[in-house]
Amino acid sequence: MQRSKWPSWKNFLEKRGLLSPVCVLLTLNHSLVPIAAQVMYLGMPLFKSAAEGNAFSDLVDLLVDEDALRQFTDYLLLSQSGQEVEA
């Protein structure tokens, strides 16, 4: 899994005040994430042609990969706690 987009995704969440809610959702509702990824796959043709289509595709891939998702969740939780982390 390519981690180069993680800092930009984290910044996106922070700017919109969504970092804490996303951390909670990823931590507590991890069993629902694959279902959300499948729904996102349905929207893939619409977003693939958009400017951020590759990022959307990478996000869907992340949500399907349990190990990568766990690492991304840990990355978000560590950055939320104020620790300096590398993607």
pLDDT digits (tens, 9 = 90+) for 76-86: 999 888 776 66
Q: Which residues contact 61 (CB under 8 A, 6 or more apart)?
A: 1, 68
Q: What is the mean pLDDT of residues 23-37?
A: 84
Quick: pLDDT tens for 9-26. 999 999 999 999 999 988
Q: How far apart are the first and last CA of the chain?
A: 11
* Of residues 44 and 20, more confidently modeled: 20
Mean pLDDT of 40-61: 74
Q: What is the pTM of this model?
A: 0.79
